[in-house]
A and B are shown apart, each in its own frame.
Chain A
Amino acid sequence: MTALSDRTAGFGLAAALAALADLALVLLKQTHPAVLAWLARSFGHHWIGHGVLIVGLYAGAGLSLTRAGLGRRVSPTLLFRLLLTAMAVSGGGIALFFALFD
């Protein structure tokens, strides 16, 4: 089995995590007006806050998971499946949520 570098594994897992967090934050914002208001108040606009949190999570989790040294524990196939599943669940969930509950 090909071993991934720690950075490839760390940032790949972080991308999957941030993708799922994108969906979670959408659901939280849309169902809890207080969260939407907090984001708007703290960042000037809720969308800016959303972006800062998602990109910040990707960068922060990527660096932390890289330091955790997961390269030999995560196979390319597992990372492929995790990343694609997270992206599909997140994108599909966002589209479904707004299509059904607008």
Chain B
Amino acid sequence: MTSLLVAHHLSGLLSLLAALWLWAELGAAQPAAGRCRRLALLLAHLAGAVLLLGGAWYVLAYGADRAVILRGPWPQAHGVAMEIKEHVVFLFLLAALYLPVLLRDPAWTDPSLRRLARACTVLVLLWGVAADVGGLVVDLGVRQGLTRPAPPAGGGS
């Protein structure tokens, strides 16, 4: 299960790098069509891998971490951070899946379409970073749960 999580993190990191690279390529005076399309395809595949790997880990292994988080002092790491992460990641996927379609448009080098394509790369970056920060908070929530047990419910001093 650890390897699933590592692969999820790595594919997420690579997808952010691919989005950043594509954003830079699209800003060139004469963007290279082949490279932009290959990058968009790579990004779409990486985003798919991020969801499949992270989803498999979430469905198969996250239950144990959730139990640790919920009995620790940071229950919001699940109730807020993980809940946001697991749902905004679909926005990340949608923006990544749309880019290869957009860059197949015969008029894709038109400034208005390139602006739309660059906006999609920014959306991938934005939702990707948001999901990554969510993952960080979840990791910290687990750590807090393991090292600092929550005080007994209703137990005043």
Residue of A nearest to B113 (CB): A76
5 nearest A-B pairs in the assembled complex, by CB-CB distance: A76-B112, A102-B79, A8-B105, A2-B110, A98-B83
The one of B55, B79, B84, B123 in contact with A51, judged by C-beta atoms closer than 8 angstroms, is B55
Which A residues are CB-close (under 8 A) to B112? 2, 75-77, 80
Number of interface residues of B (CB under 8 A): 36
The one of B58, B84, B91, B101 in contact with A87, judged by C-beta atoms closer than 8 angstroms, is B91
B51 within 8 A of A: yes
Interface centre among A8, A12, A26, A95, by most chain B C-beta atoms within 10 angstroms, is A8
Interface size for chain A: under 10, 10 to 19, 20 to 34, or 35 or more residues?
35 or more
Which B residues are CB-close (under 8 A) to A54? 90, 94
Which A residues are CB-close (under 8 A) to B88? 91, 94-95
Which B residues are CB-close (under 8 A) to A58? 94, 97
Question: In whole Å, how far is A61's beta carbon from the nearest beta carbon of chain B?
Answer: 11
